Amino acid sequence: MKPCIAELESRRQNNRRSRFQKAQTEMFLKLLDKKYQRVLDVGCGKGYWSYVGARAGRFLECCGSDVFKNYQLAELKRVCRKTEYRPIKNNHLDYPAGQFDLVFSLDVIEHVEDDLGFVKEHLRVAKKGGQIIVGTPNYWRMTNIWLMLLGRLKYPRNMGPDSYGDCIHLREYRKKQLEDLVIKAGGSQVRVYPCWMGILCLSLGIEKFPKIFDNFCHFWFIKFTKT
């Protein structure tokens, strides 16, 4: 009988079979340019991205915040020395200012009513000089272009059910919109990274493509700093 694989590790292994998920995970790890003492995973869900960073030796202490209490503390403790979960309360992170070396959220901002306030909260709880990473789908990705041509791209947009109910995108971002939002919130040293280009449902696409096609990537990572 095969040994039982823990949930987050099972997801990590399964994601290597999907071209987009594999590219997304590898890009996230590339953006982690040092070891971070204390990190906050905003909209953490079960803590997949916390697990990925900790398993790679980049995160020493992992904290999670979400409106759903599913952060897998026991499994995360296997790969980092300390874990903690605090629920998001009234759209605010339940941490004092200046707590974290890295604050990140992936596939979250497109669901949030007050996206400017959301980014400001990331900056508030980061330490001075701390890094912030936000990941979100690209408005101009290939599948959206087909929907535009058919007159069917509208927001709010129901992306279908997930483990938390219907997945609703209130908006999606063009590159400049995302940059402008972060700068307005007070972020500095802002850089945007395109990730993957293709058709997600078919797992068909490429990870590296000519820079001229950056605007048609599937997903944006934006990385910035608290000054």
Tens-binned pLDDT, residue by residue, of the chain (227 aa) = 445 579 999 999 999 999 999 999 999 999 999 999 999 999 999 999 999 999 999 999 999 999 999 999 999 999 999 999 999 999 999 999 999 999 999 999 999 999 999 999 999 999 999 999 999 999 999 999 999 999 999 999 999 998 788 999 999 999 999 999 999 999 999 999 999 999 998 889 999 899 999 999 999 999 999 99
Q: Is 177 a member of any domain?
A: yes
pLDDT score recorded for residue 109:
98
CATH number of residue 208's parent domain: 3.40.50.150
CA 104/CA 198 separation, integer angstroms: 25
Choose among 60, 159, 43: nearest CA to 107.
43
pLDDT score recorded for residue 162:
85
pLDDT score recorded for residue 191:
98
pLDDT score recorded for residue 4:
57
Q: Is 60 a member of any domain?
A: yes
Q: Is 1 a member of any domain?
A: no
Q: Structurally, how many domains does the chain consist of?
A: 1
Residue 185 is encoded by which pair of tokens? 């919130």
| DSSP string for 37-91 | EEEEEET-TTTHHHHHHHHTT-EEEEEEE-SS----HHHHTTTSSEEEE---BTT
Q: Is 2 a member of any domain?
A: no
The boundaries of the domain holding residue 13 are 7-225
Residue 104 is encoded by which pair of tokens? 């990140």
pLDDT score recorded for residue 163:
79
